[in-house]
Structure 1
Amino acid sequence: FNEPAEHYLERIQANSRRLLGLINNFLDLSRIDSGQIQVDLLPLAPVSLAQRWRDELSVLAQKKGIDLDVQVGGRVPELLYGDEDHLSRIGVNLLSNAIKFTESGSVTLRLASTQDTWSIIVTDTGIGIPEAAREFIFDEFRQVDGSTRRKYGGSGLGLAIVKKLVTIMGGHIAVQSEIGKGSTFTVTLPLKLVEEGEGDKIVRDTL
């Protein structure tokens, strides 16, 4: 291909990905609202899962010159019970959202744990969210304002889906933000540890 043809091909591919993402968001939202979503708790390795999310989005971050890091707190268990599909939807949505609204600097995914809960924390150095907008950013089809939609695109469904999935799994999500400095989204979920022997298969699979 010559250079103009490659440029148009890239635009077609990008638009196709956005359309597919929009369709998937609508389907997910429909399944959630109709009660078709179930929570399947199985043993999983949270650190390996987080690293897969990072790897999945590393090219997107590299294209913008953004550092994408994973940090793990000392109390995070090797294995816990969780729904890998739902967790991945949450993690990838939060990370892609952070990358989209960050022009320079970094996006950090951190895992943390207490005795009863564990958390997925995504921090960025992006544009930040006005205080008034934090009340509705988890609503369907809502973005900060029209200029945000025009500049960054998106359907306004990603964070709504994240919150619904978090709620279904018995957790909650919170946001802290400062205009021009960035945002932090914290998902906190109940912690159910894998007892000795129950996680043998998942351990073998991750070696």
Structure 2
Amino acid sequence: MKKILTRIGAWLGKRNPFVLIGIAIVATLVAVAGGSAAMEYTMTEEFCTSCHEMRNNVYVEYGGSIHDTNRTGVRAICPDCHVPREPVDKWIRKVQAAGELYQHFIVGKIDTKEKFREHRAELAKNVWTRMKSTDSRECRHCHTADKMSSDLQTETAQARHEKGRAEGLTCIDCHFGIAHSEPKGITPADIVVKQKL
């Protein structure tokens, strides 16, 4: 390795500094473009359902849910609910997800339906904790509270939204189990976190 680095150093030392700057610029552009392309691919439904753990468990539940099929035809796919849109937060979440991929997929923690069911409450708790800590940020990308028309909501929905706001609740406290089956023994109300607003 030392020989290789010495040769590269000798080769670079003989080059015009402008050539080296040009190489650095091109390498940076290639890295940024490649990183952006990889990021965009990992934000697709195809990528999210490429492993059987997701395709055969949570994706099956999502099929036919209000986020999949509805009267307006507007669909929310996996990253819409599970990945922030802000660039820095998105990269942070992607790094966390890579760790989760290793922990759950590569190690085989949830590689069968039985194992998935066994760990379902833990997995849900992780997602709900993250969503509660960000005041359901991902929900609010599509559902804007100040643009909701109370007139189009039932009296019960109006009262519950008002009560939730008064109690400092966030979307996920009430609206869970919409796209996926609810785990047994836990709800978001059982999770107490300090919200990052």
TM-score by length of 1: 0.28
Structure with bigger strand share is 1
Structure with bigger helix share is 2
